[in-house]
C-alpha cells in the first residue's frame, strides 16, 4: 500500500469488544506495585529528610520506584487480553444492607484505555524524575527530599486515577493529583508568586472537583453503582430509566464536563495553568504538560457512554465548542508572550482544547492519539525550556536569548526543542501532524451546530500554533549568538573571574532525557501505521477495547451516523484526505511568517508591533494579547473583588453587630443590671424598704400594663 493511500484511508475498525464482559483476575495482585512503589518512595524520601540526607539518594529512590511501576505497567500490557480484567488490590469500602449495598474497593480496571494512559504516565514520570535529579541538585538537602516526595505523591495519585475500577477511587486520585500539584507549584514557598500560583491552582480546581463529587453521587443514585463494568451493564440494559429521574441522568455529563474543564484547564477555568509555571520546570513537564492535565480527557473518555445517552449529544457539542474556543484564545495569547515557558503553558492549554474538541466531535480516537503524542513533544519542549532556564540563571525572555544551536554544549537542547516544535506545529509526517489532523478532519465530517465553522477556526488556530512555536525556536536557538543572564545570576559564575556571565550547559542526565523524549516524540507517529485489527493504528486499537469505543468513526458509521459521516467535505474532498494537505499548508504559512519576523528580519517584528501600537484603531490588539485579553483582570473585577469586599463587610457585621452588640452586649446586660441593684442588697433596713417599695411599684406597673393591653379581656 502506498504511503498516500495509507494517509487517505478513513479509520476502519472491527467490532469493539463488549466492555461489560471484563472478568475478575485473582492472580494479578502484583499489579498493585504500580501504586505501592511510589508510596514506598514517598516514605523513603521522608526518611531521607529526617536523616538530613544531602546526597542524591531521594532522586535514585524515586527514579527506581517509578521505573518499577513502568515495568509493572508494561507487564500488564503484555499480559492484556480483551476485554480486560478487574484486579482486586485491597478491600476498601464494602457495605451491604437489606435490599442493597455499596462497594468501592482499591481495584484496578485493566482495559486498553487505562493501559494506554498508565504506560506514558509511568514511562515519562521515570524519565522526568531522572532529569530532575540533575536539574534540582542546587537544592540538595531538605528541599531535594521534599521535591521527590511530591513527585512520588503525584505518581501514586495519578496511577490511582487512571487504574481505578470505580469512581470513588478515581475521585481519590483526582484529589491526590490536585494536592500534589499544589505541593509542587508552591515548591519555592519563599517566593510570593509561587505561593499565589499554588493557591490559585488549588482554588480553581476545587470548582471542578465539586462537579466530580456531585457526578459520582448522581451516578450512584441513578445507576445504583460507581463501578465502570457495572455502569456499562446498567446503561446498556436501560434498567436505570425505571428507577431514577431524567434530570439526574441528564445532569451527570454536565457535572463531569465541569470537573474536566477545571483539571484540564479549559474555559473558563484555564487561568490557573499558566501561573503554575512558577513551579520547577520538571513539574511543568510532568504534571502540567504530559500527565495530570490530561486527566479531564481521560475522565470524559472513560465515561463516554453517559454522554451518549443524550441522543442529541448536546453536552458533547458544548465540549467541542469550549475546546475549540479555548484552543483559539490560548493560541492568541501565546503569540504575544515573551517568557518561553509561559508560551509553552498557553500552548498546553490550546492543545488540550484540541483534545476536548476531538471528544466533542465524536472522535475519542483522535483525542486519545493527541494526548499520546502531546505527552512526548510537550514534555520535550518544557524540558528544553528548563535546560535553558537552568543554564542561563533563570533567563526565559526570548528577546534576550539567541543562537543556542551555535554554542558548545547546547546542540541536544536546540535540536530536541526543534523536534518538539515540529510536532507541535503539525509539520508533515511528525506525530502531531497525524494526531491533530484526526481531530480536524472529524470536525468537518461530524454534523453538529456550526461544526464546519469550528473546523475552520481550529485550522486557523493550527496556523497560529505553527507561528508562535517557531517564534520561540527561531529566536532562542537560531540567529547570532547573544544572551543575557537571568535574575538568578549573582556575580561571576562557576569560578570564572573575568566579570562576565558564563552559561553552563546541561550534563548527562538532562541531555539523555531530552534526547530520549525527543526521539519518542518522533516515534509517536509510528502507531498510526501499526494496524492490529483496527485501521487507524495502535491508538485506535487501544480505544476500540474500552468504554470510549463509540468515538471511533467507523463504529459510528456502522450505526445511524453513517449517512451524516458520508456527507462531510472539505473544499469538495473527503476531509480525511484533504486535511493532510490543508493543515500542512497552513502550518507552512505559520512557520514561514515566523521565519521572516524572527529569523531573517527580526527588526520587522519590532516595527510591526510599533506600527500597531501607533494607531488607535489597532493599538488594542497587541496590548490585549500581551495582557492575556484581561481575563485575570475581569475575574478580579467580577469575582475576586466582590468576594473580598463582601467578606470584609460580613467580617465587620460579625465583629460589630454579632460580637459587640449581640454576644458581648447580651453578656454585659445582666452584669450592668446587677451593679445597678447592688446598693439595694447591702443588708440595711433602709435599703430593704427601698427594694420592697420598688418591687411593689414595678408589680403595679406590670398589672396596669397587662390590663391596658386587654390581656384579661
pLDDT at 555: 58
- Among 196, 130, 115, 195, which Cα is nearest to 162's? 115
What does the pLDDT average to over 636-648?
A: 91
What does the pLDDT average to over 49-68?
A: 94
CA distance 446 to 551: 11
CA distance 284 to 273: 9
Give residue-wise pLDDT tens across range 368-408. Answer: 999 999 999 999 999 999 999 999 988 999 999 999 999 99
Vertex 273: Cα angle to 260 and 290 (nearest 5)? 70
275 contacts 265 by C-beta, under 8 angstroms: no
Give residue-wise pLDDT tens across range 259-284. Answer: 999 999 999 999 999 999 999 999 98
Give residue-wise pLDDT tens across range 102-144. Answer: 888 899 999 999 999 999 999 999 999 999 999 999 889 889 9
Integer Rg of the chain from CA: 31
Confidence band for 564, pLDDT divided at 50, 70 and 90: very low
What does the pLDDT average to over 48-64?
A: 94
Whether pLDDT at 562 is above 50 = no
Pick 468 or 616 by higher pLDDT.
468
Q: Is 244 helix (H, G, I), strand (E, B) or coil?
A: coil
- Among 113, 145, 135, which Cα is nearest to 508's? 135
pLDDT at 240: 65
Whether pLDDT at 4 is above 60 = no
Confidence band for 46, pLDDT divided at 50, 70 and 90: very high
What count of other Cβ atoms lies within 10 Å of the Cβ of residue 558? 13
pLDDT at 669: 77
Q: Is residue 132 packed enough to be buried (19+ CB in 10 Å), middle (13-18) or exposed (0-12)?
A: buried
Whether pLDDT at 93 is above 90 = no
42 contacts 13 by C-beta, under 8 angstroms: no
What does the pLDDT average to over 51-78?
A: 94
Vertex 239: Cα angle to 233 and 243 (nearest 5)? 130
CA distance 650 to 646: 6
What does the pLDDT average to over 428-444?
A: 91
Give residue-wise pLDDT tens across range 327-379. Answer: 999 999 999 999 999 999 999 999 999 999 999 998 899 999 999 999 999 99
pTM of the model as a whole: 0.89
pLDDT at 9: 42
Whether pLDDT at 558 is above 60 = no
pLDDT at 94: 84
What does the pLDDT average to over 233-260?
A: 81
| Element holding 424 (H helix, E strand) | helix 411-424
Terminal-to-terminal C-alpha distance of the chain:
107
pLDDT above 70 as % of the chain: 89
- Among 80, 40, 45, 77, which Cα is nearest to 59's? 45
Whether pLDDT at 691 is above 80 = no
For 28-42, 174-188, 451-465, 552-566, which range has the lowest pLDDT when averaged over its residues? 552-566
CA distance 333 to 225: 43
86 contacts 29 by C-beta, under 8 angstroms: no
Whether pLDDT at 442 is above 80 = yes
Q: Is 402 helix (H, G, I), strand (E, B) or coil?
A: strand
Give residue-wise pLDDT tens across range 300-329. Answer: 999 999 998 887 889 999 999 999 999 999
Q: What DSSP string describes 292-361?
A: GGGHHHHHHHHTHHHHTTSTT-HHHHHHHHHHHHHHHHHHHHHHT--BHHHHHHHHHHHHHHHHHHHHHT
- Average model confidence (pLDDT) for the chain? 86
pLDDT at 533: 59
What does the pLDDT average to over 399-418?
A: 94
476 contacts 602 by C-beta, under 8 angstroms: no
pLDDT at 565: 45
Q: Where are the domains of the chain?
A: 649-709
| Pairing outcome for strands 100-110 and 23-25 | unpaired
Confidence band for 245, pLDDT divided at 50, 70 and 90: low
What count of other Cβ atoms lies within 10 Å of the Cβ of residue 172? 17
Confidence band for 19, pLDDT divided at 50, 70 and 90: low
Give residue-wise pLDDT tens across range 658-680. Answer: 877 777 777 777 777 777 766 66
Amino acid at each position: 500500500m502506498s504511503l498516500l493511500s495509507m494517509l487517505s484511508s478513513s479509520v476502519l475498525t472491527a467490532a469493539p469488544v463488549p466492555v461489560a464482559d471484563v472478568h475478575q483476575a485473582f492472580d494479578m495482585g502484583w499489579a498493585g506495585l504500580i501504586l505501592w512503589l511510589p508510596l514506598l518512595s514517598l516514605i523513603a524520601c521522608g526518611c531521607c529528610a529526617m536523616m538530613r540526607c544531602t546526597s542524591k539518594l531521594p532522586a535514585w529512590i524515586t527514579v527506581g520506584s517509578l521505573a518499577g511501576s513502568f515495568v509493572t505497567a508494561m507487564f500488564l500490557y503484555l499480559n492484556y487480553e480483551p476485554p480486560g480484567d478487574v484486579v482486586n488490590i485491597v478491600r476498601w469500602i464494602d457495605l451491604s444492607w437489606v435490599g442493597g449495598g455499596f462497594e468501592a474497593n482499591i481495584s484496578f480496571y485493566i482495559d486498553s484505555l487505562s493501559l494506554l494512559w498508565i504506560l506514558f504516565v509511568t514511562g515519562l514520570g521515570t524519565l522526568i524524575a531522572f532529569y530532575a535529579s540533575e536539574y534540582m541538585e542546587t537544592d540538595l538537602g531538605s528541599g531535594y527530599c521534599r521535591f521527590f516526595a511530591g513527585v512520588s505523591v503525584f505518581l501514586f495519585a495519578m496511577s490511582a486515577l487512571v487504574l481505578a475500577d470505580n469512581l470513588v477511587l478515581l475521585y481519590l486520585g483526582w484529589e491526590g493529583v490536585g494536592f500534589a500539584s499544589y505541593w509542587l507549584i508552591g515548591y519555592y514557598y519563599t517566593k510570593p508568586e509561587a505561593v499565589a500560583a499554588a493557591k490559585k491552582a488549588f482554588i480553581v480546581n476545587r470548582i471542578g472537583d465539586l462537579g466530580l463529587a456531585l457526578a459520582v453521587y448522581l451516578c450512584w443514585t441513578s445507576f445504583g453503582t460507581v463501578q465502570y463494568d457495572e455502569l456499562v451493564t446498567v446503561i446498556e440494559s436501560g434498567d436505570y430509566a425505571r428507577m431514577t429521574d431524567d434530570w439526574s441522568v441528564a445532569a451527570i455529563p454536565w457535572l463531569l464536563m465541569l470537573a474536566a474543564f477545571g483539571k484540564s484547564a479549559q474555559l473558563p477555568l484555564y487561568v490557573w495553568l499558566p501561573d503554575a509555571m512558577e513551579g520547577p520546570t520538571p513539574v511543568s513537564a510532568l504534571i502540567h504538560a504530559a500527565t495530570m492535565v490530561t486527566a479531564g480527557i481521560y475522565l470524559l473518555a472513560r465515561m463516554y457512554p453517559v454522554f451518549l445517552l443524550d441522543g442529541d449529544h448536546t453536552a458533547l457539542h458544548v465540549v467541542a465548542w469550549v475546546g475549540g474556543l479555548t484552543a483559539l484564545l490560548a493560541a492568541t495569547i501565546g503569540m504575544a508572550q515573551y517568557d518561553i515557558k509561559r508560551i509553552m503553558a498557553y500552548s498546553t492549554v490550546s492543545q488540550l482544547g484540541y483534545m476536548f474538541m476531538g471528544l466533542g466531535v465524536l472522535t475519542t480516537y483522535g483525542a486519545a492519539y493527541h494526548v499520546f503524542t502531546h505527552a512526548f513533544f510537550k514534555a520535550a519542549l518544557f524540558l528544553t525550556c528548563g535546560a535553558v532556564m537552568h543554564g542561563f540563571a533563570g533567563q526565559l525572555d526570548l528577546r534576550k536569548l539567541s543562537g543556542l544551536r551555535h554554542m558548545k554544549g547546547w546542540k541536544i537542547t536546540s535540536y530536541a526543542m526543534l523536534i518538539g516544535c515540529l510536532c507541535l506545529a503539525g509539520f508533515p509526517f511528525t506525530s502531531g501532524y497525524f494526531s491533530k489532523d484526526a481531530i480536524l478532519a472529524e470536525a468537518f465530517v461530524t454534523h453538529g451546530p456550526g461544526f464546519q465553522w469550528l473546523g475552520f477556526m481550529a485550522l486557523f488556530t493550527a496556523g497560529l500554533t505553527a507561528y508562535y512555536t517557531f517564534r520561540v525556536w527561531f529566536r532562542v536557538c537560531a540567529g547570532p549568538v547573544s544572551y543575557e543572564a537571568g535574575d538568578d545570576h549573582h556575580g561571576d559564575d562557576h569560578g570564572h573571574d573575568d566579570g562576565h556571565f558564563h552559561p553552563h550547559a546541561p550534563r548527562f542526565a538532562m541531555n539523555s532525557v531530552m534526547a530520549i523524549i525527543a526521539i519518542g516524540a518522533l516515534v509517536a507517529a509510528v502507531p498510526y501505521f501499526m494496524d492490529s485489527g483496527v485501521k487507524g493504528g495502535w491508538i485506535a486499537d487501544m480505544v476500540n477495547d474500552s468504554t470510549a469505543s463509540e468515538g471511533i468513526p467507523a463504529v459510528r458509521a456502522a450505526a445511524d451516523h453513517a449517512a451524516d459521516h458520508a456527507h462531510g467535505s472539505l473544499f469538495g474532498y473527503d476531509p480525511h484526505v484533504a486535511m493532510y494537505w490543508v493543515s500542512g499548508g497552513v502550518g507552512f504559512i505559520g512557520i514561514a511568517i515566523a521565519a521572516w519576523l524572527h529569523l531573517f528580519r527580526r527588526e520587522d517584528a519590532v516595527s510591526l508591533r510599533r506600527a500597531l501600537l501607533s494607531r488607535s484603531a489597532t493599538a488594542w490588539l497587541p496590548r490585549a494579547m500581551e495582557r492575556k485579553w484581561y481575563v485575570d483582570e475581569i475575574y478580579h473585577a467580577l469575582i475576586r473583588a466582590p468576594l473580598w469586599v463582601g467578606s470584609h463587610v460580613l467580617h465587620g457585621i460579625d465583629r460589630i453587630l454579632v460580637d459587640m452588640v449581640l454576644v458581648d452586649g447580651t453578656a454585659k446586660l445582666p452584669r450592668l443590671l446587677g451593679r445597678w441593684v447592688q446598693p439595694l442588697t447591702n443588708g440595711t433596713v433602709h435599703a430593704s424598704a427601698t427594694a420592697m417599695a420598688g418591687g411593689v411599684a414595678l408589680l403595679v406597673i406590670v398589672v396596669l400594663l397587662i390590663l391596658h393591653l386587654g390581656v384579661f379581656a
